Structure 1
Amino acid sequence: MDIYSFHPTAREFLGRSLARLDPLETEVSGSDVFLLPANATFTVPPTYGENEIPVFNGTAWEIVVDWRGTEYWLADGSHHIITDFGEERPAEALDAEPIEEPVLTQDDYEEAIQNLFEKTADSRRYEQGATAFATYVNSKDSEWAAEAQAFVDWRDTVWRYAYDQLNAVQAGDREQPSVEELLAELPEPNWPA
């Protein structure tokens, strides 16, 4: 006959073993009588699944959730480990530590916009950069002067738009966009034909 042991205080199922015969009671009764040690029962625990454990309530087994050892994080960044059976993971629990998005600063936007200017100048074959491109406004070559003027006009429009959006964010009139979102909103240059 099998016996089923449980923890002396938590009363969770620990395992199965073979019961020993009680020689005196077996002789007296004329049939097999088995010894039942402390913290054990002859009652078979029910089948249980992953993250469950049978707990003996004194007369019967109950199935209880068992997430012990499970780590989780909350949105506030706090780290938790479940240490007791019967404790559920909160519905809002995260499987990994939340990654804080870096706070974007005005410098991040300005750097991205300046990089856009540099790439645009380079794409028009002004490899000395945006500042050099803008100086061609005074060129004696009318084609270069017109192209440089279109670049300067576009640059000024972009900066005005960007700073207007910064003011709108600071005033609470719009959510702060990502750098990519702001770049996608910027007007295109209007190059001369």
Structure 2
Amino acid sequence: MTKIIYLLDAATGVFMGESLHPLDPVETERAGEPVYALLNPLLAVEDAPPNTPAGMRAVRSNGAWTLEAVPEIPEAEVPDPELPPVPEPSDPPQPTFEERVEALRTEVQAYMDAMARSLGYDDIKTAVTYAEEPAVAKFQLEGKAFRAWRSLVWEACYALLAQVQAGEAEEPSKEALIGLLPPLEGLPDPAPPAPPAPPAPPQPDEPIEQPE
């Protein structure tokens, strides 16, 4: 035979649930029949609690069951999550002197290439290759002019940048640097225009046929 016991909260006497009544193994073996263990009345009882309506709970007090309202559990206040501070916008890093110098060198190289392309070459390196090619005098003269000009340009560019680094001159903008470079000289004079073609000689008048 199975018996049900009713568990209690030892501190408050509140009904906690049901369980099977444990047997006393020693007494059961001695008696030859089930003998249930003694109960601690603070932890379990054999009489069932009354029906408990919603919002109520059964409590064991002074050997009897009573009903009481289930106390409301205050909701724990959940603090608002702390958002990380928004970093203040910072100015973008300024380029170093070496980076600015490299940008100026790139601008100078692009300027010389553009000058060579204006005369039909791919770039200034291509134009310079014609300096030692005598097959076409015009191309050779242009190649020599570009080769000399390239050396003068880089000499002036590096001299100015050295003054800037030493604090002897202000750092120029890309546009201002181009205006400080030596001009391209030594190009052959353009071929004179061809003279106009002589007018066609006048054609003799055709004879007028006389009627017969």
Which structure has the larger Rg? 2
TM range (shorter): 0.3 to 0.5
| TM-score, length of structure 2 as denominator length | 0.42
